[in-house]
Amino acid sequence: MIIEEIRKELFEKQDMKYRDMQIKIIPNIDKDTIIGVRTPLLRSYAKQLSKRDDLCIFLDDLPHKYFDENQLHAFIISEIRDYSKCLNEVDRFLPYVDNWATCDQMSPKIFKKNKQALLETVKQWIGSDKTYMIRFGIGMLMEHYLDEDFDLSYPEIVAGISSDEYYINMMIAWYFATALAKQYDSILPFIKEKRLDVWTHNKAIQKSVESYRITDEQKEYLKTLKIKK
């Protein structure tokens, strides 16, 4: 069966040093589920598997046993060229995503050509009660709606998210740091008016200061807006 074939292939691609690193940076999942396959190899393997007629057997096998299978699943979804099919597979898979890496590395290419249709679904993801569904929704807003499709209502949505979840708040900070780099004048009021909770506010400033896309003058000013605890 394709599932056994995939697992055999993943273990053949195992890199123990890479596995040790992943265990450290993804502490919230069982280390025994991490095989340790490097991302470029997974991306390449996903492209190979995308041509298989029996691929649906693997995509239907949820939840997966291994983290690397989740990664592979995310990369396979990212290769789907039919928008409706891709969106359906994302919605089927998201409830099983349990870590930031799988969440953030799933980036369907077809979404770029369907941004208007995607927007309502993004809002639904953000409005859910699942950590990585919310994080994914914020990530899609960050990836697709901060350039020519930017609208001030989008950072309003993100600023309105209230959560105690670290992985949600980190993505909110990342969103606003990226938004400052791309839409500085429009986003600055969210920081000046302290629209985010203290931790997220300060983290957004920290990420902005670390960014090469923010000018030195902007960085110095942003530093003055940090909230002292």
In this structure, the answer to whether residues 94 and 104 fall within a common structural domain is: yes
In this structure, the answer to whether residues 19 and 123 fall within a common structural domain is: no
In this structure, the answer to whether residues 145 and 73 fall within a common structural domain is: no
Measured CA to CA in angstroms, residue 183 lies from 79, 171, 177, 179, 192 at distances of 29, 17, 10, 5, 15
What length is written for the chain? Answer: 229
In this structure, the answer to whether residues 157 and 100 fall within a common structural domain is: no
Please work out, in degrees rounded to the nearest 5, the angle formed at the alpha carbon of residue 201 by the alpha carbons of 200 and 207.
80
pLDDT 10s digits, 65-81:
999 999 999 999 999 99
In this structure, the answer to whether residues 126 and 174 fall within a common structural domain is: yes
In this structure, the answer to whether residues 1 and 36 fall within a common structural domain is: yes
Averaged confidence pLDDT in the chain = 97
Q: What is the CATH number of the domain that holds 224?
A: 1.25.10.90
Range of the domain at 143: 115-229
CA distance 201 to 205: 6
In this structure, the answer to whether residues 37 and 86 fall within a common structural domain is: yes
CA distance 14 to 149: 41
In this structure, the answer to whether residues 97 and 64 fall within a common structural domain is: yes
In this structure, the answer to whether residues 154 and 100 fall within a common structural domain is: no
* Mean pLDDT computed over 34-62: 96
**Torsion over CA: 82, 130, 125, 25 (sign):** negative
Token pair recorded at residue 108: 């369907």
Which residues neighbour 38 within 8 Å (Cβ) at sequence distance 6 or greater?
Answer: 13, 15, 18
Number of domains in the chain: 2
The pLDDT of residue 148? 94
Predicted TM-score (pTM) of this structure: 0.96
Helix axes 166-182, 131-144, angle to 10 degrees: 10
The pLDDT of residue 65? 97
Question: Last residue of a domain, which of 98, 113, 128?
Answer: 113
State yes or no: pLDDT of 11 exceeds 90: yes
Question: Last residue of a domain, which of 70, 96, 113?
Answer: 113
Give the other-Cβ count within 10 Å of 134's Cβ.
Answer: 23
In this structure, the answer to whether residues 96 and 129 fall within a common structural domain is: no
What percent of the chain stands above pLDDT 90?
A: 99
In this structure, the answer to whether residues 164 and 201 fall within a common structural domain is: yes
State yes or no: pLDDT of 143 exceeds 90: yes
Question: Last residue of a domain, which of 88, 113, 138?
Answer: 113
For residue 77, which amino acid is it? I
Chain centre distance of CA 40: 17
pLDDT 10s digits, 24-44:
999 999 999 999 999 999 999
Token pair recorded at residue 17: 């040093």
State yes or no: pLDDT of 229 exceeds 90: no
In this structure, the answer to whether residues 71 and 133 fall within a common structural domain is: no
pLDDT 10s digits, 91-122:
999 999 999 999 999 999 999 999 999 999 99
pLDDT 10s digits, 144-169:
999 999 999 999 999 999 999 999 99
